[in-house]
C-alpha cells in the first residue's frame, strides 16, 4: 500500500516506522515545510493519506483531502467543531474518511466497556461520575479527544448527564473530566463511579505511541477499498 503522511511529528514518525515494518511504502511526508504538496495529493500515487497533524492545521488538511476525493485516516484531536462539515465533503466528493480520537485497539475496547458500565450504572444515582486523563506536556489540546469520547459514551447511556466540563466542579447534569499534563506520559484514562460506601473504576494506560501508530496503519489497510464516513466501530465490528 502506498501512503502519504500528512503531519510528520512524533506520531507521524511512529506511523512511518510501523507502516514500513508491515511492508508498505511512504510516497510522501507533508508538514509545514512543504504544505503546498497537500493540494496535489489527489494527483499522486498515494492510495491512503494518514493525517496526524495539530488542532489548528487539521481542518484545512482534511478539507483539502476531502475536496480531492482522497481516502484519509485522521487521528488529530481538538478540531471536531468542523467534523460534520468534513463528513459532508467526504460524501459529496465520493471520498473515504476514517476518524478516531484514539487508534489503540485496547482503548476502543475500553470505550465499549465504558458504554456498557455507564448503562448499568445509570439507575444508581448515588454514584458520582468522574473521569480523568493524563498526557505528556507536549499535547496541545485539553481535554484529550479520548477523554471527550469517554464522556460522550457516558452521556449517551445516562439520561441524567447532558454535557461535560473540564477541570471544573460538575453540576448534577455534567460529567467531570480532570485533565493534567505530566512529563512524557503517552496517555492514561480513568472513569470512576464514587458513592459514600464504595468506588468502581475502569482504567486504560498506554505505555508507548506504538499502539496508536499500529492502529492507524491497520485502519488505513482496512480503508483502502472503501468509501464514505467510517470509524473504529465499523472496523472492529463493535
Residues annotated catalytic, as ranges:
135, 139
Answer yes or no: is 78 a known binding residue.
no
Answer yes or no: is 195 a known binding residue.
no
Answer yes or no: is 76 a known binding residue.
yes
Answer yes or no: is 153 a known binding residue.
no
C-beta atoms surrounding 7 within 10 Å = 24
Answer yes or no: is 145 a known binding residue.
yes
Any idea how long the chain is?
A: 238
Cell 492545521, residue located: 57
CA 228 from centre of chain: 18
Answer yes or no: is 149 a known binding residue.
no
- 222-233 core/surface letters (b: 16 or more CB in 10 A; e: else): bbeeeeebbebe
Report the distance separating Cα 146 and Cα 189, nearest Å. Answer: 8
Report the distance separating Cα 90 and Cα 113, nearest Å. Answer: 30
Answer yes or no: is 183 a known binding residue.
no
Answer yes or no: is 193 a known binding residue.
no
Instruction: Could you list the residues known to form a binding site, using ranges.
Output: 37-38, 75-77, 100-103, 136, 145-146
Instruction: Could you list the residues known to form a binding site for NADP(+), using ranges.
Output: 38
Instruction: Could you list the residues known to form a binding site for (S)-2,3,4,5-tetrahydrodipicolinate, using ranges.
Output: 136, 145-146
Amino acid at each position: 500500500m502506498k501512503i502519504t503522511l500528512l503531519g510528520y511529528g512524533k506520531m507521524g514518525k511512529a506511523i512511518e516506522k510501523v507502516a514500513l515494518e508491515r511492508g508498505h511504502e511512504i510516497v510522501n511526508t507533508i508538514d509545514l515545510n512543504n504544505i503546498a504538496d497537500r493540494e496535489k495529493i489527489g494527483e499522486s500515487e498515494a492510495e491512503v493519506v494518514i493525517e496526524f497533524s495539530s488542532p489548528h492545521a487539521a481542518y484545512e488538511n482534511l478539507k483539502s483531502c476531502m475536496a480531492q476525493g482522497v481516502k484519509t485516516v485522521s487521528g488529530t484531536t481538538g478540531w471536531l467543531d468542523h467534523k460534520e462539515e468534513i463528513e459532508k465533503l467526504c460524501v459529496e466528493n465520493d471520498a473515504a474518511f476514517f476518524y478516531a480520537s484514539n487508534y489503540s485497539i485496547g482503548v476502543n475496547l475500553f470505550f465499549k466497556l465504558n458504554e456498557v458500565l455507564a448503562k448499568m450504572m445509570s439507575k444508581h444515582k448515588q454514584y458520582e461520575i468522574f473521569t480523568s486523563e493524563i498526557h505528556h506536556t507536549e499535547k496541545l489540546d485539553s481535554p484529550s479527544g479520548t477523554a471527550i469520547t469517554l464522556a460522550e459514551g457516558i452521556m449517551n447511556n445516562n439520561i441524567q448527564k447532558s454535557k461535560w466540563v473540564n477541570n471544573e466542579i460538575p453540576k448534577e447534569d455534567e460529567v467531570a473530566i480532570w485533565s493534567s499534563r505530566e512529563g512524557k506520559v503517552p496517555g492514561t484514562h480513568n472513569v470512576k463511579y464514587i458513592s459514600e460506601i464504595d468506588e468502581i473504576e475502569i482504567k486504560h494506560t498506554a505505555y508507548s505511541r506504538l499502539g496508536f501508530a499500529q492502529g492507524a496503519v491497520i485502519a488505513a489497510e482496512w480503508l483502502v477499498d472503501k468509501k464514505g464516513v467510517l470509524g473504529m466501530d465499523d472496523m472492529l465490528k463493535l
